[in-house]
Amino acid sequence: MTVTPAATGPARAGAPTPATPGPVITGRDFPTNRGGLCRKGWTAAALLGHPERVTTPLLRGRDGIHRPVPWTLALDLIADQVQRTRASHGPDAVGVFGGGGLTNEKAYQLGKFARLALGTSRIDYNGRFCMSSAAAAGNRAFGLDRGLPFPLEDLDRADAVLLLGSNVAETMPPFIQHLQGARAAGGLVVVDPRRTATADFTADGAGLHLAPVPATDLVLLLGLSHIAIHDGFADAGFVASRTAGYQAVARSVAQWWPERVQSITGVPVHLLRETVRLLAQGARGGGSYILTGRGVEQHVDGTDTATAAINLALILGLPGSANSGYGTLTGQGNGQGGREHGQKADQLPGYRKITDPAARKHVAKVWGVDPALIPGPGLPAVELLASLGKPNGVRTFFIHGANVAVSAPNASQVLKGLRALDFLVVCDFFMSETAQEADLVLPVLQWAEEEGTMTNLEGRVLRRRAALTPPLGARSELWIMAELACRLNAPSVFSADPETVFTELRAASAGGLADYSGIDYALLDSGEPAYWPYPAGSTGTPRLFLDAFAHPDGRAVLTPVSPSADPARDPLFTGATLALVTGRLLEHYQSGAQTRRVAELAGAVPRAQLLIHPLAAASRGISDGGMVTVANTRGTVRCQAKHSTAIRSDTVFLPFHFAQDENANLLTSQAIDPISGMPEFKASAVTVTALSQN
């Protein structure tokens, strides 16, 4: 491809001017974290002026080396490439991958950019890997998905909290304070195959730790529902007046008697009974909550498992009460808002369905286009990535805010796909492993440099203020989209100004499930809490479902679910294989693209370690600190072993924060949950072998 250099020019249209913080509440008063930050939070500032920051567009030459090019040239090149791809392969050969870390404004505009400027249906995002199963279960049961349908502070007064597959002590340290009440009442129950730092909080009479065989949580939850019903703990009044589907669920759990559940999950019957007793007792006292995390959701049956957790909560009468409930703990910075406004394959802004004619009509009107111009549903993330470079697949790909070369399942196949593309554009501020594969890297702004809004795990919309001037050469993604839309003669308007985009988002979301129409920047700046749905003229909704659930008849729906033998799932525990569980460490964030660059964090945990029980290690001749290979048909990881009695002896654990041959996702599979599209991140069969040291 021939390119003609053009002048960069001094204009920095995409760079916002730092704003003075408004008269907002101070960090220490903020109820969610009470001013507390975890270690990553305190060190995040180290990344802002980092020497490895990308500060100019970089074009990869034939020799594979990235060299600076001016912005005008970079944008012209992209527009030209998009047009060629569309002309030869059709609009769906252009694809977009977004991120749950993007502000609401960027996530919204990215969805619109894909559908109108690129004309493609092929957009999805990394939240598919994160919140999709819980979201699908929430929609199914409640008719609406907001991670916590209540303010986090409500937990403080609870007597019992059942925390399934979540290691908040490492992944959300400020959250721990909200478990104090349950601990004091002896009612904290942590379900994790590892004795995590979170499970340790149940010690000394503070509660229970259940350590099931990985991927058996669905059975565990069916067993808990069985006990709730058969031991007389069901809340008959609530079930009759506020739910539908109870009878079918009651029938379906009849076969999951406690001893059978013990034999599959390994959790003793008395602990199952005690868990139900604590929850039922709590519900009659200070309150009870059931919370799920990625450990139970990131499975091929993640939606059904989250559904089983909700069924249990409904049987006990927890949701919709003022002091009890069910929730899922949302992960990424904008994991909530990022899943509401259109960067999902099947979604339009305001949590609308792209297949719903009324939704298309509403959004098309706001965008000033014919509804027929909005493409239909695209492909969920795993399938989208699997289509890269394939016949009828995506050939020109945009990535905004994800490091898929490390974080997506079956990473070696993903890398192959990235390399098979005709053209890859990656917007990032670092040369992540994914950016290294890009034909063009576009340097964008970091959190402290941009204006916008985020929606937290409670559905509370928050303002993000620009506090720093970005490096010369970096641009906002809104500006990049606006410039490209202009070059592609896109219909509608693409603004580079966050407040203008937010105003449009409000109109697009009006009347949808996630209605933001009554929220504006002035309201957010005033410090008034803004929980969605917040229709114009209302004062928002801190607590959902108190009077009605979001289904048309106002009832919550119990759906019978049962374990099935999914042929795509790795059979666990055959021969000498161990179950590989992946997850997080306190010191690192996600693919490590950011935290491996912070000296303090990289120094604390410089490389991947495989947690293995001393018994499993001994039978394989693996020493503490010795090197091992962890392998299956998809790939091989080489790393150090660390003996630990805090893990089941049939299970090993690897964090997914590391790259190259320490990347845990070399081992995970692309098998997905048929309802949510969530991949199986949490249970892979592996063989572990000592590497002979010479």
Ligand X SMILES: Nc1nc2c(c(=O)[nH]1)N[C@H]1C(S)=C(S)[C@@H](COP(=O)(O)OP(=O)(O)OC[C@H]3O[C@@H](n4cnc5c(=O)[nH]c(N)nc54)[C@H](O)[C@@H]3O)O[C@H]1N2
* Closest approach of ligand X to the CB of residue 401, in Å: 4
* Closest approach of ligand X to the CB of residue 352, in Å: 23
Residue 402's binding partner among Mo ion, ligand X, none (Cβ under 5 to 8 angstroms by kind) is: ligand X
Q: Smaller CB distance to ligand X: residue 159 or 450? A: 450
Residue 166's binding partner among Mo ion, ligand X, none (Cβ under 5 to 8 angstroms by kind) is: ligand X
352 burial (CB, 10 Å; 0-12 / 13-18 / 19+) is buried
Residue 509's binding partner among Mo ion, ligand X, none (Cβ under 5 to 8 angstroms by kind) is: none
Residue 154's binding partner among Mo ion, ligand X, none (Cβ under 5 to 8 angstroms by kind) is: none
Q: Smaller CB distance to Mo ion: residue 33 or 332? A: 332
Distance (Å, rounded) from C-alpha 508 to C-alpha 623? 58
CB 421 within 8 A of CB 36: no
Q: Smaller CB distance to Mo ion: residue 226 or 596? A: 596
Binding site for ligand X (CB under 6 A): 40, 99-102, 126, 129-130, 164-168, 170-172, 191-194, 196, 212, 214-215, 217, 293-296, 298, 331-332, 400-404, 407, 427-430, 432, 444, 477, 581-584, 586, 588-591, 593-594, 653, 656, 664-665, 668, 681-683
Q: Smaller CB distance to Mo ion: residue 143 or 331? A: 331
Beta strand 684-690 pairing with 578-583: antiparallel
Q: What is the DSSP string of 454-519?
A: EE-TTSBEEEE---SPPPTT-B-HHHHHHHHHHHTT-SS---S-HHHHHHHHHHHHTTSSS--TT-
Query: Which are the contacts of 610, defined by CB distance < 8 A and separation ≥ 6?
Result: 628, 630, 637, 639, 640, 641, 642, 652, 653, 654, 688
Distance (Å, rounded) from C-alpha 217 to C-alpha 215? 6
**Residue 610 phi, psi dihedral angles, 5° rounding:** -90, 120
Residue 193's binding partner among Mo ion, ligand X, none (Cβ under 5 to 8 angstroms by kind) is: ligand X
Distance (Å, rounded) from C-alpha 308 to C-alpha 440? 45
Residue 113's binding partner among ligand X, Mo ion, none (Cβ under 5 to 8 angstroms by kind) is: none
* Closest approach of ligand X to the CB of residue 450, in Å: 8
Residue 98's binding partner among Mo ion, ligand X, none (Cβ under 5 to 8 angstroms by kind) is: none
Name the nearest CA neighbour of 81 among 488, 362, 353: 488
CB 217 within 8 A of CB 304: no
Q: Smaller CB distance to ligand X: residue 124 or 477? A: 477
Distance (Å, rounded) from C-alpha 408 to C-alpha 382? 8
* Closest approach of ligand X to the CB of residue 32, in Å: 14
* Closest approach of ligand X to the CB of residue 591, in Å: 3
* Closest approach of Mo ion to the CB of residue 379, in Å: 20
Residue 99's binding partner among Mo ion, ligand X, none (Cβ under 5 to 8 angstroms by kind) is: ligand X
Binding site for Mo ion (CB under 5 A): 130, 331-332
CB 176 within 8 A of CB 291: no
Q: Smaller CB distance to ligand X: residue 102 or 556? A: 102
Q: Smaller CB distance to ligand X: residue 387 or 663? A: 663
Distance (Å, rounded) from C-alpha 99 to C-alpha 298? 17
Instruction: Give the gyration radius of the chain's Cα atoms.
Output: 25
Q: Smaller CB distance to Mo ion: residue 331 or 498? A: 331
